[in-house]
């Protein structure tokens, strides 16, 4: 999974992409112990949703809660806040300390309100680990702590074009490894590029890069809101291991575990038939339980 230091004469070795296994994912699932409380388990701050896309807030929060963590703090406009509380009364909608942030799902950078901009700036400014999706990807230059970007190919094309690369969605789909690596190097963040095969990699540092891939067992997860659910799962896994997120190899492991859980939850929910995004979130606890118990059922 981790690339050896590069040879100064022949240049960097091609990245070794590790297929993320059940064993590797199981190692990133935290089971609460007797001394744990809701704060030690990890609190995820969520700044997602908008008047345009309130449902994305519900989907991400639902998925985070289902993944298992101490608490979710949701901060957003009135309508998504109301919907989030209707779906999940356990969510807290007042500001406070968090171990990680999930931002951007269900937001549109072109129509961002001033108050949304302030919440996003707050999440990005204090060095807390952050998962950045959809309508917050344009703020990648403001990152101050460990960060995972979760673009689909269209969003990655927009991000790379803004950084001066000539690339479109089709080119990224044709060479996802190359463009995920380029984006990681250009932004300094871990990049999780979504698709039937999801690619997760760290920036190259001192000749070392960590890279993992997750091939979904089917394509039923290609449905509206599925990526919003993924954001919640990855956010929860990072929040429960926030003290490790400063190590790029660990951050890749945590993000890859989120993608693994999402892909297999979709498979479990689908049972070879169609699914909605919320069905994926509902199946997440069974995948976490399987990983936590080490049993393959």
Ligand X SMILES: Nc1ncnc2c1ncn2[C@@H]1O[C@H](COP(=O)(O)OP(=O)(O)O)[C@@H](O)[C@H]1O
Ligand Y SMILES: NC(=O)C1=CN([C@@H]2O[C@H](COP(=O)(O)OP(=O)(O)OC[C@H]3O[C@@H](n4cnc5c(N)ncnc54)[C@H](OP(=O)(O)O)[C@@H]3O)[C@@H](O)[C@H]2O)[C@@H](O)CC1
Rounded CA gap, 206 and 221, in Å?
A: 36
Tokens of residue 178, six digits:
């190359």
Binding mask 52-71 for ligand Y (x = CB under 6 A): -x-xx---------------
Minimum CB distance to ligand X, residue 78 (Å): 23
Work out what residue 198 binds among ligand X, ligand Y, none; the CB cut-off runs from 5 to 8 Å by kind: ligand X
Rounded CA gap, 140 and 233, in Å?
A: 20
Tokens of residue 153, six digits:
């190919």
Rounded CA gap, 21 and 285, in Å?
A: 18
Mention every residue, 6+ apart, whose C-beta is less than 8 A from residue 35.
Answer: none
Mention every residue, 6+ apart, whose C-beta is less than 8 A from residue 152.
Answer: 193, 194, 195, 227
Distance of CA 272 to the CA centre of its chain: 25
Query: Does residue 174 bind ligand Y (CB under 6 A)?
Result: no
The answer to whether 164 is annotated as binding is no
> Which residue of the chain is nearest ligand X when measured via CB?
227
Among 200, 216, 252, 254, binds ligand X (CB under 6 A): 216
Region of 17-25, 62-70, 104-112, 119-127 interacting with ligand Y (CB under 6 A): 104-112
Rounded CA gap, 193 and 177, in Å?
A: 9
Minimum CB distance to ligand X, residue 70 (Å): 25
Query: Does residue 80 bind ligand Y (CB under 6 A)?
Result: no
The answer to whether 76 is annotated as binding is no
Region of 26-34, 88-96, 147-155, 240-248 interacting with ligand Y (CB under 6 A): 147-155
Query: Does residue 156 bind ligand X (CB under 6 A)?
Result: no
CA atoms in the 13 A half-sphere facing the CB of 291:
26
Site residues (vs ligand Y, CB under 6 A): 53, 55-56, 105-107, 134-135, 152-155, 169, 224-225, 227-228
Going by the annotation, the residues of the binding site for (6S)-NADPHX are 56, 106, 152, 228
């Amino acid at each position: 999974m981790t690339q050896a230091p590069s040879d100064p004469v022949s240049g960097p070795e091609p990245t070794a992409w590790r297929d993320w296994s059940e064993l590797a994912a199981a190692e990133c699932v935290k089971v609460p112990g007797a001394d744990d409380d809701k704060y030690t388990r990890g609190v995820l701050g969520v700044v997602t949703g908008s008047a345009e896309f309130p449902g994305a807030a519900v989907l991400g929060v639902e998925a985070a809660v289902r993944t298992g963590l101490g608490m979710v703090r949701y901060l957003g406009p009135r309508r998504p806040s109301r919907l989030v509380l209707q779906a999940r009364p356990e969510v807290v909608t007042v500001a406070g300390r968090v171990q990680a942030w999930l931002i951007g799902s269900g937001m549109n950078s072109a129509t961002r309100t001033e108050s949304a901009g302030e919440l996003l700036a707050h999440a990005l400014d204090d060095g807390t680990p952050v998962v950045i999706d959809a309508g917050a990807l344009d703020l990648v230059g403001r990152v101050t702590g460990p960060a995972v970007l979760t673009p689909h190919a269209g969003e990655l094309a927009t991000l790379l074009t803004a950084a001066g690369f000539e690339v479109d969605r089709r080119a990224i789909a044709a060479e996802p490894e190359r463009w995920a690596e380029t984006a990681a190097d250009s932004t300094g963040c871990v990049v999780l590029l979504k698709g039937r095969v999801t690619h997760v990699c760290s920036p190259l540092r001192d000749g070392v890069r960590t890279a993992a891939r997750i091939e979904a067992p089917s394509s039923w997860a290609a449905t509206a809101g599925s990526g919003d659910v993924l954001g919640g799962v990855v956010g929860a896994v990072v929040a429960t291991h926030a003290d490790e997120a400063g190590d790029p190899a660990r951050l890749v492991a945590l993000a890859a575990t989120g993608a693994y859980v999402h892909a297999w939850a979709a498979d479990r929910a689908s049972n070879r038939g169609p699914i909605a995004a919320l069905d994926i979130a509902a199946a997440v606890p069974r995948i976490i339980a399987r990983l936590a118990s080490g049993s393959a059922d």
